[in-house]
A and B are shown apart, each in its own frame.
Chain A
Amino acid sequence: MNNERQEIVKQVTQVVSQALRVDAAKVRLEASLIRDLGAESIDFLDIVFRLEKTFKIKIPKGELFPEKLLTDARFVADGCVTAAGLDELKKRLPSANWDEFSKSPLVSHLGDLFTVGMIADYLAGKLAVTKS
């Protein structure tokens, strides 16, 4: 892991630890915010706002949480993500664990994809684009 990525991971860990009031030792890269760390919707809002403040960026609507995609009938049907929806989500969030999700692609399971590592990867990509 290079120095920049290490620093991003360290800051994301701190943000998540503060927002969820959990010991930083529990905030591992593979930890799911909802399933492992007990995050609720107010916590997601808190984390997004803290990340924007910490990294001095704006997380545009639809970028980290693909809301438009999830209301598109091509991509979501009867509470499940379709094959087309899965392809689209993989493009938007390439570092999420899609193998596990694909076994049971329920929309209600999407929240489990948000791990500490996934957020760190998203920010690393965003900051790299911002710098170039």
Chain B
Amino acid sequence: MKRPCRIASLGVDLVEFEKARAFYGEHRGRLAAILSPRERAYVTRGSRPERALAELLAAKEAAFKALGLPWMGLAGFRRISLRSRTPRRAMFRAGSRDVRVTFLSRRRFVVACAKAL
């Protein structure tokens, strides 16, 4: 039986795959500064790391917005971490709060919609 929960707020973000590809190419050695070990494995294990990276960055940024947090630099990205992932959605944890994210992918970009629970 599912626990009842109340959706608190929403956040949305879009990341272009081309930007994520350029970022991955330039800074793949620095991913530990912004991604957890599980997230890095998700990016590097797949056949299209730039798409995985775009999803994660869009999800985290959408989560910031849903949680009402300002952009807080590199450390801010590590505060929100991936807990589980299916093809169209993911669950993140930010401190004591869960954030559910759904993804919409198109040829050039991914949109993440975050619901802070």
CA distance A65 to B13 in the complex (A): 20
- The answer to whether B70 touches A111, judged by C-beta atoms less than 8 angstroms apart, is yes
- Interface positions, chain B 74-89, Cβ under 8 Å from A, are 74-77
Residues of B within 8 A of A71 (CB): 69, 72
Against B, the Cβ 8 Å flags (1 = close, 0 = not) of A30-43 are: 00000000001111
B34 in the interface, Cβ–Cβ < 8 Å? yes
Residues of B within 8 A of A46 (CB): 22-23, 26-27
Task: Tell me the interface secondary structure of chain B in the complex.
Answer: helix
Q: Chain A: which residue is nearest B61 at the CB level?
A: A41
- Which size class do A's interface residues fall under? 20 to 34
CA distance A46 to B15 in the complex (A): 13
- The answer to whether A49 touches B73, judged by C-beta atoms less than 8 angstroms apart, is no
- 8 Å CB contact of B73 from A40, A67, A107: A67
- 8 Å CB contact of A61 from B26, B57, B69, B74: B74
B2 to chain A, nearest CB (A): 31
- The answer to whether A42 touches B73, judged by C-beta atoms less than 8 angstroms apart, is no
